[in-house]
Amino acid sequence: MHQSAYDTESAHSDGPVHVGPPPPGRRRRIAIIAAASLATLVVTAVGVDRFAAGRAESRTATAFQDGMDTPNRPSVHVGGFPVLTQLASGTLRHVDITAHDIPAHGSTRPLPITRLTLGVDDLKTSGDADEARARAVDATAFLSYEDLSGALGLRLSRDSEPGRVRAAVDLPLGGEVTVSTAVSAVSGNRISFTDFRAAGGALSGPAQTLLDRIFADPIPLQNIPEGLHLRSVTPTASGVDARFTGRTVTFRPDSSNA
């Protein structure tokens, strides 16, 4: 029987059979499949992590709303990736919180806070579900002139001189006087109004008496998380910015809200 050269060579070959690389088209298909699989894994991991972040943000917002007695839940953003590992460790590396319309309760908390923004580092949930602690916090409480005016019973606005505000005061026997007053931060997380200057001359006796009664003592800002300390007060075009910092800050429901 006739045997081809191919058959003869195959029958007498004792060496290993070498398989060459796949053709270019197949290599491209393998690369595409691998890239698609990797992309699917990444998207799935990101999706799961974002779901976990959303749950953490929702729980933090609810706890903050309960503690600060705000009418609406604050905006919360958990930073860093992945969040799942942060949750597993019990510490969130950085959390940004913005809350609005924090009310004032009782005679020791006369000033409502229009907006409170907090940058929270290393937020750790303790064994107590109603309490959390942060290693460090940088916060700004914004008090609008409208809210300040309503709380103090006079009309406040920005003064042309830095660090001061204008107050329009209704006198007991009629009439009105406009004064400029310096605003500053003092110990105990309080805002002080001092150095009254009447527009167009000296203050009358009734006006001075009224201002002394309203601003006899610095006014406390106590409706803020425990452990924050007032550093500065800055009048702006629409209100007053009060800047706070703190280390080992505690977030918990305030019993005075009850």
pLDDT digits (tens, 9 = 90+) for 82-108: 888 888 888 899 999 999 998 876 655
Residue 30 maps to a domain: no
Q: What is the pLDDT of residues 203-217, one digit of tens each?
A: 777 777 778 777 888
Residue 71 maps to a domain: yes
Q: If you write DSSP's letter for every residue of 107-155 in order, what string do you get?
A: TT----EEEEEEEEEEEEE-SSTT-EEEEEEEEEEEEEHHHHHHHHTSE
Residue 1 maps to a domain: no
Residue 69 maps to a domain: yes
List of the chain residues with pLDDT < 70: 1-48, 105-110, 125-130, 172-174, 200-202, 252-258
CA distance 61 to 180: 39
Which pair of tokens denotes residue 4? Answer: 């081809």
Residue 106 maps to a domain: yes
Residue 229 maps to a domain: yes
How many domains does the structure of the chain reveal? 1
Peptide bond before 235: cis, by omega within 30 degrees of 0? no
Residue 182's nearest CA partner among 165, 201, 200 is 165
pLDDT (0 to 100) of residue 250 = 82
pLDDT (0 to 100) of residue 61 = 85
| Cβ-based neighbour number of residue 82 at 10 Å | 15
pLDDT (0 to 100) of residue 17 = 54
* Cα angle: 238, vertex 110, 69; to 5 degrees: 90
Residue 64 maps to a domain: yes
Which pair of tokens denotes residue 16? Answer: 């290993």
Domain span at 53: 41-257
Residue 15 maps to a domain: no
